[in-house]
Structure 1
């Protein structure tokens, strides 16, 4: 294919982009760089492929590589796409190393937003993978590959592929039959999205990714900074308690990895995923009750103030005014634990220095 060849009399073909079939071209009508790709499909699928490609030209979103034009040249269909300067997620991970969770979550936020817009327009991507996620110099992620036939896939297939892509981002490998273990909320979310029963609701996925993109799990905060002051731990407890009250039922996942803390110290309990609760944070009675959630909250606050989970006979050496609250929360008898209203008053007193 010669360097001087033009498509449709305006797109001058230049060099290949990466190792794929996409080429850089110059749009002489609009004076801009574009990317072009031959749309290779069996003859019997050509008309439906062209229909899908032309429909994709109407999709506009900041995290979508736009399809600008669909044309036929010499009987061959071509896609003309927006040129985005960046490196694919696949290249970034293979040439460097897996991404930090916060960066992977930010990419997930962008791709999920793009998919939500596409699904709302009746478009299924069908090829979400690390090679089609581009990371720009500004830290934004954009999803390429729209306009190709989606092979009649359902939107849920795109969410599964997004989870597999995020798994690759933090593990450096596809999930295969055994997704990565780990109690942190990012890997828990990935496993939930890959579950054969189908992904969690999109709102739960979005909320979790939004928080992980900017906040850190409580266990990571304690690991990095050491045990936290009792007043700060009490404030975290109040925030988690508010979420438990709003939940209105057994949560089942109260543990440090599911409590996200932002830069100002505000905390938020993530929605329940399928991962369950770690043994160190599971109430001794093993019941699915709100009293069991309160025991898990006590174990979580114990870890935050002491630096390690509670164990039989473990002393409270740093808890100060928070100690009596923790003793009641960690009672082996659910009837001896405080009610949620009592707990709020006690935590508020410690958080404000009135205890």
Structure 2
């Protein structure tokens, strides 16, 4: 147990007593003395023998958990209120939940009745739909991460293993990849996984809720993994009308699992006491396109679609680019204006293969923004490029990663709109960029801002330091050229430029990049 007894974080969150102990830290009951409410605060506890690099990785993972969960506004996803950087490490401030996890409920009491398990499934499936439509995979759906509140809600928690669709993960080390009993076989084989993998994990979780044991019970983790990879699931004995659906969800082949529409329909029928229609095996796991919706109603069509994915508004994408997490914790969810219908080409765009971003800008141009720059741009693992000096940096990323190469301008426009709609005013940002000597810092984001033309369409957003100077430190311009969407960020943390200069620098770089892409598109 942590040695902390009483502490006030950020001048407002007073730790009261521990609620739970986990592998990476302690969850505390805390009082938010500013708003007069109880919250849960997750303290990240680090082993004493960790080196600086390993500590930074854990800090980044904790920030990712907050950023990913906080940008998803859904009644079945735990609400993250704040991220506190205290003593150079993060603390996650979340809504306080009253109840118990599904795992605790089943082990300490009894398995759930079938109709109650179906209601849990409806809520968690809806939460996964919201995550997938935002381009996120949870990757660790299991009974310990499903919380049953006293009010009857099923809440999906712990996005610490979640991954943004398209985000490189090869550099992430020292972290578990999920709970073996609830990890889909394709992920155990080393594949990255898909929405169908989360569906398998949900099936295994509901199986446990009804049967009281996982679908591949075994004495050790190695034995579990072997059984998941080589044997079918144990036929359920108590599942009744849900039995056929669970077995389809647990099919070892992702393409043989049912669609989210089918799972939604059957779970809803069982939850409301109506006779369940027997699900038929789907010929392929290819749901129809889905756009993010603010309402919690279950839409059922959730598999992300290439370039139409929201590419994380500088959350997971830039996490890899700059070697640290940068993410927006949404503190409000006001709906963005509805986009007017516009006709865009459905044909594949001009950029059918990855563009070498570093070759778009010569050093002489970039030196106008980074006067001390002496080297070429450095390619990043996400297909972007960065130019860095102490205290200042320029970075650009193709939003949506390599998923968008060869897609149509219409799909790129959808990606652009999704990114703009998900930039929420007054979001809190926790980020760092070691290459420019910027340690972990706390900031506030603006909402989407109008900018002068860059590419075919563009918007901006800015990061202001949160607790010291209030200075604008980072400005972004997101723009589209044909089927390619690019996010350009200009960062100045040494105080050498004021806000308008930082904004002007980001826009200047965006125009340079857009002009270079248009020239490449024209074959020049």
TM-score above 0.5: yes
Max Rg structure? 1
SS in 2 for 1:4: coil
**Aligned CA distance change for structure 1 residues 19 and 181 (closer, same or farther; 3 Å):** same
Q: In the superposition, relative to structure 1, how do residues 149 and 203 fare at CA in structure 2: closer, same or farther (>3 Å)?
A: closer
Secondary structure of 2:124 counterpart: helix
Q: 1:48 to 1:139 in 2, by over 3 A?
A: closer
CA distance in structure 1 between the aligned counterparts of 2:84 and 2:21, rounded to whole angstroms: 23
Counterpart residue number, 2:9: 7
What TM-score do the two structures reach when normalised by structure 1? 0.58
- Counterpart for residue 188 of structure 1: 244
Give unpaired runs (5+ residues) of structure 1.
217-259, 261-267, 275-355
How far, CA to CA, are the matches of 1:156 and 1:73 in structure 2? 38
Aligned pair count reads 224
| Aligned residue number for residue 114 of structure 2 | 101
Instruction: Answer yes or no: is the 8 Å Cα contact 2:69–2:77 preserved in 1.
Output: no
User: Post-superposition, which runs of at least 4 consecutive aligned residues in structure 1 deviate over 4 A?
Assistant: 147-153
Establish whether residue 174 from structure 1 lines up as the match of residue 174 from structure 2: no
Rounded to whole Å, the distance in 1 between the matches of 2:62 and 2:197 is 19
| Contact 2:69–2:78, Cα closer than 8 Å, also in 1 | no
Alignment of 1:199-278 (within 5 A): 199-215=257-273, 260=275, 269-273=277-281
Counterpart check, 1:142 vs 2:151: no
TM-score (norm 2): 0.40
> 2: CA distance between counterparts of 1:200 and 1:79?
36
Q: What does 1:1-355 align with in structure 2 at a 5 Å threshold?
A: 1-20=3-22, 21-39=26-44, 42-43=54-55, 45=57, 46-47=59-60, 50-51=63-64, 53-146=66-159, 149-150=162-163, 154-176=194-216, 177=227, 178-182=233-237, 184-198=240-254, 199-215=257-273, 260=275, 269-273=277-281
Structure 1 residues 156 and 271: alpha-carbon distance in aligned structure 2, compared to 1, 3 A threshold? closer
1:171–1:180 contact (8 Å) kept in structure 2: no
Partners of 1:5 and 1:38 in 2: how far apart? 12
Contact 2:207 2:236 in 1 (8 A): no
SS at match of 2:137: coil
Q: Is the 8 A contact 2:38 2:96 kept in 1?
A: yes
Per-residue CA deviation, residues 296-349 of structure 1 (Å, 9 max, x unaligned), is xxxxxxxxxxxxxxxxxxxxxxxxxxxxxxxxxxxxxxxxxxxxxxxxxxxxxx
Distance 1:67 1:124, change over 3 A: farther
Q: Secondary structure at the match of 1:22?
A: strand
The residue that corresponds to 2:478 in the other structure is: none
1:234-293 C-alpha deviation (Å, 9 max, x unpaired): xxxxxxxxxxxxxxxxxxxxxxxxxx1xxxxxxx6333248xxxxxxxxxxxxxxxxxxx
